[in-house]
Structure 1
């Protein structure tokens, strides 16, 4: 087993876990009124963007450190991870580099179509991204063993996959409300949990391979 791939996967998983926890904290503080524009949006989109690259690298490491007979599943999971990355990166970069500066300069009316608001273009981009993340988790499940520590990793992946329908309701329910947003709150627990568990699994696999 390649120790360098394991290390990249492990540390990337920890970074993704940290960024996801940070996003959850910022989201709660925004709802509580602690953060206001532009700080709230800068932190929400910034922490969300920080999840992307580490998560890709974690899933890539998982693919390479999975036995060949199960790599179909990790390959499929990696494809959906890339779908997640493409859609959410497009959204967050536009919000951070175009929409927020336009709001601050008073010229946002010209780019209103780019703003992420309920049921807008980039709202749907965000939705597709996180649905794809949930599917990536679901597809990774068969690549993880049913015994020992990996049994708990499987459960964390399944838990996040099961939250995906709730995320879909939050995004696609006809009328958005703050109360509806709380329906997706379990994701703030299951997402960082599976990222951490996969990272720990990669480290344990590497340790087992080297005795």
Structure 2
């Protein structure tokens, strides 16, 4: 007969898996910042491939464990929502990386690094928020982290205005403007995915407080 400690110990493993998933998202964001900051792309693209493989494996493992585990540390629907939201961060980052690697020569004078830095900072906050789940679902620290995510999202939105003005008003190359716009919007989408994770964590804390 299983003890309660054994049963809940099995449920607790989801904290670790979600934390690993958040770490993989952060690593993807760091690799992205390196990608837009370096001229040599090949080593960084290899890092993306490794990070995505790791994230896919973690997402699949979480889904499998949900089927096989009787008692979970959090509600199953909350774990599923977090698993899906975390998975979308490196997935969106990978889309940017693949497209940037193709068109970066055409956009060599556009500096994406300030926006990728905001994204990286957002994934660090996400990692901290996921870490808070096993610390007792405390409202105050999670609310502060949620506020930080919202501030970073607003900063990312604000930073889009200047390059859009330059591309559409001061430049006659329509194709170049569209390529840049696509990449800027992917960065914005990745930051939004971080916000989505934060919203889920905050709702979990509120529900269980």
How would you bin the TM-score normalised by the shorter chain? Answer: 0.3 to 0.5
- Normalization by structure 2: what TM-score? 0.39
Q: State the TM-score, normalized to the length of structure 1.
A: 0.39
